[in-house]
Amino acid sequence: MATPRISFEFFPPQTLDASFRLWETVQALAPMQPEFVSVTYGAGGTTRKLTHEAVTAIGKNYGLNVAAHLTCVDATRAETMEIAAAYADAGVTEIVALRGDAPKGAERFTAHPDGFASSVELIEALAATGKFKLRVGAYPEPHPDAADTLADVRWLKRKIDAGATSAITQFFFDADTFFRFRDLCVKEGITAPIIPGILPITSWAGAKKFALRCGSDVPARLDEAFTTAARDGREELYALAHCTQLCDNLLQGGVEDLHFYTLNRPHLTREVVRALGIQPELVPELVLEKVA
C-alpha cells in the first residue's frame, strides 16, 4: 500500500486568538508535506477579506500550495470574479469553487440577481480565465438539495465537464459510503480524481450534529462507541483509532489522496497522518516578513 498524498483544510481566523490557533495548526501540519492546503470562505462570503489574508499569509510564509475556497453567495458575478482576480494577483493558482449555502436567514440558496446561479456557472467563468486549477465539492451521501444520489452524481459530472479537475467529498463515517459513491461516479463517466474528505473527530457531539444537518447517516455503533469512550475519558483515543481505521480502509480500497478537515485543531490530524506512515520533515526556515 503506497503512502497517500495528503491535504488539509483550514478556516480563516476571525479573532486574534483564532489567528494564533491557525498559525499553530499550520506549523504543526506543514511538516507533513501536504500536496496542498485549502482555506474556507465563510458562509455567505462573510470571510472574504480574511480568507484572502489567510491564503496569502500561508502561501508566502510557508511556501505551501494554497487553494482558496470561493462561493457565489450574496455577490454579483463581477464581485466574485474580482475576488478571483485578487487571488491570481496574490499568486494563488488553485480554487475550490462552490455554490455555497443559503445566505443567513434564507432557507434555500438563491442566486444574487446579478450573481452566478450555480456552481457550474462559477466553474465555467473561472475556467475561462485559464488561471486556476479548479476543485469542487462532492457528496457521497446525497446533498440535501439533490433529487437523489444519481442526480447528485450527474451534477458532479457537469461540474467536472465545466472545467474542474478534481472533487473533494463531504466527510462520511464509513469507507463503504465512499466506495459506493466512487463506483457510481465511474459508472457515470467521471474520470477526475474524487478525494475523500476526512474529519478527524475532535468532538463527537459536533460531528454528529453537523452530519445530521447534512442528512448524512450516523451509524448507531459509532454513536455508542463514542458515547462509551467519552464516558471512560478515552474519546480522543477512540477518535484516533476510528479515523486511522477509516483512512486505512480507504487506502486498501485504492484511494491515493486524503483531504483532512482540520477545523484548525491540528493534533488529531497529525497523529492520524503519522499513523498512516507519514513522518514530519523539517520545513525550511519561515520566510517571515521583516517588521518595519
Helix (H, G, I), strand (E, B) or coil at 137: strand
Per DSSP, 31 falls in state G
The piece of 84-92, 94-102, 226-234, 281-289 that touches ligand FAD (CB under 6 A) is 94-102
The string of DSSP codes covering 185-254 is HHHTT--S-EEEEE---S-HHHHHHHHHHTT----HHHHHHHHHHHHTT-HHHHHHHHHHHHHHHHHHTT
Q: Does 118 bind ligand FAD (CB under 6 A)?
A: yes
Q: Is 208 exposed, middle or buried (0-12, 13-18, 19+ CB in 10 A)?
A: middle
Q: How is residue 177 written as a grid cell?
A: 459510503
CA diameter of the chain: 58
Q: Does 18 bind ligand FAD (CB under 6 A)?
A: no
Q: Judged by CB, which is closer to ligand FAD: 69, or 270?
A: 69
Answer for which of 41, 116, 204, 226 binds ligand FAD (CB under 6 A) is 41
Catalytic site residue from 9, 124, 141, 235: 9
Q: Judged by CB, which is closer to ligand FAD: 145, or 174?
A: 145
Smallest separation (angstroms) from ligand FAD to the CB of 246: 17
Q: Does 218 bind ligand FAD (CB under 6 A)?
A: no
Smallest separation (angstroms) from ligand FAD to the CB of 225: 25
Q: Does 146 bind ligand FAD (CB under 6 A)?
A: yes
Smallest separation (angstroms) from ligand FAD to the CB of 277: 25
Smallest separation (angstroms) from ligand FAD to the CB of 109: 6
Smallest separation (angstroms) from ligand FAD to the CB of 170: 4
Catalytic-residue membership of 94:
no
Q: How far apart are CA 50 and CA 39, in angstroms?
A: 10
Q: Judged by CB, which is closer to ligand FAD: 83, or 96?
A: 96
* Cβ–Cβ < 8 Å for 182, 195: no
Residue with cell 446561479: 117
Q: Under 8 Å CB-to-CB from 103, ≥6 apart: which residues? A: 43, 44, 73, 74, 110
Q: Report the candidate in 35, 95, 30 with the shortest Cα–Cα distance to residue 67.
A: 95
Answer for which of 79, 145, 248, 257 binds ligand FAD (CB under 6 A) is 145
Residue with cell 483532512: 260
Q: How far apart are CA 49 and CA 124, in angstroms?
A: 24
Q: How is residue 281 written as a grid cell?
A: 520533515
Total number of residues binding ligand FAD (CB under 6 A)?
A: 23
Q: Does 101 bind ligand FAD (CB under 6 A)?
A: yes
Strand partners, 94: 67, 133
Q: Does 69 bind ligand FAD (CB under 6 A)?
A: yes
Binding mask 177-206 for ligand FAD (x = CB under 6 A): --------------------x---------
Smallest separation (angstroms) from ligand FAD to the CB of 1: 25
Q: Judged by CB, which is closer to ligand FAD: 4, or 166?
A: 166
Instruction: By CB under 6 A, name the binding residues for ligand FAD.
Output: 40-41, 43, 69, 71, 96, 98-101, 118-119, 137, 139, 143, 145-146, 151-152, 155, 168, 170, 197
Q: Which residues does the annotation mark as catalytic?
A: 9
